[in-house]
A and B are shown apart, each in its own frame.
Chain A
Amino acid sequence: EAGVAQSPRYKIIEKRQSVAFWCNPISGHATLYWYQQILGQGPKLLIQFQNNGVVDDSQLPKDRFSAERLKGVDSTLKIQPAKLEDSAVYLCASSLRLAGATDTQYFGPGTRLTVL
């Protein structure tokens, strides 16, 4: 079974530039998560999708961050414009998460963003 794919693996940009990250979850997984992990901290949930609908985006800085999951499969996370404090690893995860069920999240390798 193929795992969660993310690209790019690394990105370096200047502040105020825009950047986009892509995630392809495990086939058949209904739920997709984007996390931000700042160095030395645990991952923080940014947004959770169930199929192509948003379940939770309460911690997404909506003035600069946006995410979409068209057709309920792969997803894109965008930052526009980037700030220095956005430097972090952006992790994508997916799970089967049928309604009401509890199951394991599978994580991709992450995208390491450096904002200069």
Chain B
Amino acid sequence: KQEVTQIPAALSVPEGENLVLNCSFTDSAIYNLQWFRQDPGKGLTSLLLIQSSQREQTSGRLNASLDKSSGRSTLYIAASQPGDSATYLCAPEGNQFYFGTGTSLTVIP
């Protein structure tokens, strides 16, 4: 069974800082990996999807990298804003999606 670990569990940064969220997974036989955002009391919103053959994906201020062989992915957020405050979850997909427990991010104005 896939085990997904996200570090740190919580992070608080001042507005404008660049930050990195980490995700590690135990089974490298994956098709892709997605990063999601979850706001309190709401469902998940997909941020980035990286195919297994890719090494990174970018969307605006977000950049996600994938090193399948080492079982790691990172989500880089540039110039953080208070609106980025949310929980960020990674989900590698093998025969099914397995989610990490997430990193709770607070961006302080």
A residues contacting B by CB (< 8 A) are 4, 33, 40-45, 48, 56, 58, 91, 93, 102-110, 112
Contacts and interface: CB of A to CB of B under 8 A. Distances in A.
B96 A109 contact: no
B28 interface: no
Given A42-B98, A106-B46, A107-B44, 4 more contacts: A40-B101, A93-B43, A102-B93, A109-B41
A105 B101 contact: no
Contacts of B49: 102-104
Contact of A41 (B32, B96, B101): B101
A21 B41 CA distance: 17
Interface string B34-70: 1010000111111001010000000000000000000
B76 interface: no
A42 B89 contact: yes
Contacts, number: 52
13 contacts: A4-B43, A33-B97, A43-B99, A56-B95, A91-B43, A93-B43, A102-B31, A102-B51, A104-B46, A106-B46, A108-B43, A109-B41, A110-B42
A48 B43 contact: no
Interface in B70-105: 89, 91, 93, 95-102
A6 to B, nearest CB: 8
A42 B4 contact: yes
Contacts of A112: 41
A106 B97 CA distance: 13
Interface centre among A4, A102, A106 (most CB of B within 10 A): A102
B64 to A, nearest CB: 13
